[in-house]
Chain A
Amino acid sequence: MIFFKNNKLLCFLIFAVVGAGFGLVVVSQKVYDVQRSVKKMSREALVSEWDIRSLKAELAYLTRPDRLDQISSAFVRSISPAAGNSISMVAPVSFSLSSASSSDVAILPLKKPRPILVSAPQKTNASSKNFSDLLNVVGGDE
C-alpha cells in the first residue's frame, strides 16, 4: 500500500498501460471478428450474385421475343397499328326510340360479352421448353 501511495504516477501508468493493452486486444479481436463476418458476407454475396445471374438469365430466356410473340398470338387479339389513312369519317347513327313504330329498327339490348375462347399455344420445339430444359441442353463436351 505504501508503495502505491508513494508511487501514484507510476501505478497510474502501469494500470493505464495494462488497460490500454487490454483495450487493444479487445479492439483487435473485434477487428478480426468483423473481418471474419465480412468474409462470410462476401462469400454469401458471391453465392447470391450467382443466383441473381441465373435468375436474370432465366428471365431473359422466358421473355424472349419469339416466346412472347407466340404467347401473344395465342392469347391476345392482334391490334394493327393506326395507319395514317385508317381514320375514316364516322356518320351519325340514327335510331328509333322505343315508342317508335314497329316498322322502325328496334333498339336491342347489348349482349353480355362472353369470354373469348382461344386455343392453347401450339408447342414448338424451342419455344415450349422451360428454362431447366434449356439448361439441360447447355452442357458441353469434354
Chain B
Amino acid sequence: MSLLNRWNKNIATLISTRGEALYVGRTRLRIVQSICLLLFALVLIRLGDLTLMQTPNEPNIDRKHASVQSMERADIVDRNGVLLATTLQVSSLYADPTLIENKAFVANQLEAILDVDNLISKIDRKGRFVWIKRGLTPSEHFKVNALGIPGLAFRTETRRFYPQGNLSSHVVGYTSVDSRGLAGMELEYDDRLAQGGEALSLNMDVRVQHALVKSLRLQMDNFNALAAMGGVVDIQTGEVVAAVSLPDFDPHHAGKADKSALRNRFAQGVYEMGSTFKLFSTANYIEKTGKSFSKTFDAREPLKEGRFTINDYHAEKRILTLPEVFIHSSNIGSALMGRAIGSENMQKFYTDLGFMDKMDVDFPGNPKPLTPSPWRDVNTLTASYGHGIAVTPLHVLQAAATIANNGVRPTLSFAKDAQHDPIQSRVLSASTAYKMRQLLRLNVTDGSGKQADVPGYMVGGKTGTSEKAGKGGYDKDRLLSSFLGVFPVDNPRYAVLAVLDEPKGNKKSHGYATGGWTAAPVVGDVISDMTRVLGMMPNPKAPNLTAGLSRYLKKENTITPASYQR
C-alpha cells in the first residue's frame, strides 16, 4: 500500500508540477505573442506611415540649392522680357605657393596668358592660398589648364553679365565683384535682386532705348556735342520706356570707365533747361489768368527788372499774341507772363509740377533741383523761360507728361515693382491742358519744332536752348539745346525729350546749334522708329488741333531756318 500510495503521490506531484510548467510555459508564450503582436503593429503602423501618410516632399532632400534661380542674384529684364542682366558662372584662378617650385618660370608662363601685373610677387607670398585672377575668360581657363602646373587650381564663381552692353548701362547699372549693386537698378533694387527669385522687370523697352541712343549719338557726332541725354515716358502710366545718357560705358568694366561716362546726366544731372520751361509758365499763365490766345504781349523793347535786362534771342520787336510768344519763344513775352502770375503762384505751380523737390522715382542718386533762395521777383521772370532754376531732364519729362495727361501728374517709375503712390494729383485743368497741346502742335507745324514732325502722328513739342552758366555769367558759346515732344497730341501717349550738351553749329545748320536744329530731329527720328517698333498706326482722321489758330499768327513772320532757336 505504502508503495502504491507513494506512487500515487509521486504521480500527483508530477501532474501538478507538469501543470504548473505548462501554465508557466503558456503564460510566457502569451507574453512573447503580445510582444510580437506589438512589434508587428509598430512595423505595420510605420509602413502605413511611410507609404500612405507621408507628404510628397519626403524624403527630406536638401532643396536649399536645388535651383540657380533661388540661389543667385535675380535677372533684370526689360518690359518684353529681354535679358538686361544675368549671372553666369566663371572660373577664377588661385595658387598654393608652397606647391610651386620654380616660381619665376610659372609667373612667366602665366603672364603670357593672363593680363595680370606683378604675378611673381603674388606667387612668392607666404601662405597656401592666393588669387591669381578672378573671372577668367573661357580661353584663359583652357590655356592655363593646359599648362598643367601643380599648385594652380580653379574655383567656380559667379559674375554679373549684361548682354545689352552699353545700351542700358546707365539704367541697369552695375555690381561689384561680390555682386552688390553699385549703380542704377542694381543699386536701387539691390536687396530684392540679392534674394534671387523672379527677374526684376523694368519698364524700359530696349528697342525704343536703341532708337533714342542711335539718334542722340548721331546728332552728338554731327554737332560735336560734349554729351547728350534723353528719355521717353508713357504719359498715362508714368513708365520710363527709355532713358539715355551719353557718353555711356561698358558695365562689365565700369571701374575702368571715364568719370564723365559714369555720370548719369539724364537722372542725376541738373540743368537750366531754357525755353522748354515756357511750356509750363505759359500753362500756368493760362490757368491762373484765364486769358485766351488773343492776349498780347509787348515784345518791342527789352524788359528791365532791377539791374537785369531780358532780351529775345531772335527779337520780333513787335507786339506778340500768346501763341506767337510760344512759337517764337519770346523771353520777354514769357517774362511778362511770369510777372502777371506773380512769384507765389509761380513757385506753387512749379512745386506742384515737382520742380522744387527731389523726384519721387525708383532711381538712386536723384539730386534736388537748384532753385533760387531767396526767390526774388526777377527769379520769377527768369524761371518763366527756364533760367535761374536747374532741374534734371527727368523732372522736365514728368512735368511734360503732366501737361499732356490732361493736367494730372503721373508718378514716374523705372521698374514694374516700383511702389506707386496710387493717388495722382491734378495740377492743371483739362481745358488749359488742351490749349497747351494746341500750342505744342502749333509749334511743330508753324514754329521752331518743324524738324520733329512725323507725318500722320500729330507730334507736338517745344524747343529749348539755354546758355550754360560759367565763371563770368552765362556763356553764349556753351549751349544746352533740347526738344520736348509729345505725341500724338490729339490723344497723348508718349513724351520724348532730347538734350544736347554744348553742341556746335555746322554747315548744315547754318552755324546754329539751337534746339530746333540739334534736338528736334532726334525726337522726330525716335518717334518715327517708335511707331514702327510699337506698331502704332497713323491716324489720318485725327482732329486738327491747330485749326483756327492761324488768326493769332502774323503771316509775314513765318519761321525761317535762321530762327530755329530758343
Contact = CB atoms under 8 A, between A and B. Distances in A.
Interface of A: 7, 9-10, 13-14, 16-17, 20-21, 23-24, 27-28, 31-32, 34-35, 38-39, 42, 45-46, 49-50, 53-54, 56-61, 63-66, 69, 81-87, 126, 132, 134-142
Return the 3 tightest CB-CB contacts between A and B, nearest first.
A84-B456, A65-B210, A60-B163
B167 A81 contact: no
Contacts of B218: none
Contacts of A142: 116, 131-134
Contacts of A126: 165-166
B136 A139 contact: yes
A42 B66 contact: yes
Given A7-B29, A13-B37, A142-B131, A136 B138 contact: yes
A84 B43 contact: no
A19 B535 CA distance: 72
Given A10-B33, A24-B46, A132-B139, 14 more contacts: A7-B29, A10-B32, A10-B36, A17-B39, A56-B83, A60-B83, A60-B84, A64-B167, A64-B210, A66-B210, A81-B528, A140-B134, A141-B133, A141-B177
Contacts of A139: 90, 133, 135-137, 140
A38 B86 CA distance: 27
Contact of A84 (B50, B253, B540): B540
Interface in B39-53: 39-40, 43-44, 46-47, 50-51
A35 B59 contact: yes
A132 B134 contact: no
Nearest to A137: B252
Nearest to A129: B165
21 contacts: A9-B33, A13-B40, A17-B40, A20-B47, A39-B62, A49-B67, A57-B83, A57-B86, A60-B82, A60-B83, A83-B455, A84-B455, A85-B455, A86-B456, A87-B540, A135-B137, A136-B138, A136-B140, A138-B135, A139-B140, A142-B116
A21 B44 CA distance: 9
A34 B59 contact: yes
B257 to A, nearest CB: 13
B161 interface: yes
Contacts of B33: 9-10, 13
A11 B445 CA distance: 105
Contact of A49 (B68, B136, B161, B209): B68
A18 to B, nearest CB: 10
Interface of B: 29, 32-33, 36-37, 39-40, 43-44, 46-47, 50-51, 59, 61-63, 65-69, 82-84, 86-90, 116, 131-140, 159, 161, 163-167, 177, 206-207, 209-211, 213-214, 252-253, 255, 454-457, 528, 531-532, 537-540, 542
A66 B214 contact: yes
Contacts of B537: 82
B61 A35 contact: yes
A53 B159 CA distance: 12
B161 A66 contact: no
A137 B133 contact: no
B40 A16 contact: yes
What DSSP secondary structure best describes chain A's contact surface? helix
A50 B86 contact: no
A40 to B, nearest CB: 11
A31 B163 contact: no
Contacts of A136: 137-140
A66 B47 CA distance: 63
A50 B67 CA distance: 10
B50 A27 contact: yes
A21 B135 CA distance: 54
Contacts of B86: 53, 56-57, 60
Nearest to B251: A138
A83 B538 contact: yes
Contacts of B210: 64-66, 69
Nearest to B176: A140
Given A53-B87, A65-B167, A66-B167, A83 B138 contact: no
Contact of B47 (A27, A84, A134): A27
A53 B135 contact: no
A13 B47 contact: no
A65 B40 CA distance: 71
Given A7-B29, A10-B32, A138-B137, A84 B539 contact: yes
Given A69-B210, A86-B455, A136-B137, A23 B47 contact: yes
B69 A49 contact: yes
A81 B252 contact: no
A138 to B, nearest CB: 5
B32 to A, nearest CB: 7
A85 B458 CA distance: 12
Contacts of B456: 81-86
Contacts of A141: 133-134, 177, 255
Contacts of B63: 42
A28 B46 CA distance: 11
Nearest to B114: A139
Contact of B89 (A42, A50, A81, A84): A50
Contacts of A31: 50, 59
Contacts of B83: 56-57, 59-60
A142 B87 CA distance: 18
Nearest to B82: A60
B66 A20 contact: no
Contacts of B50: 24, 27-28, 31
B490 to A, nearest CB: 12
A23 B47 CA distance: 8
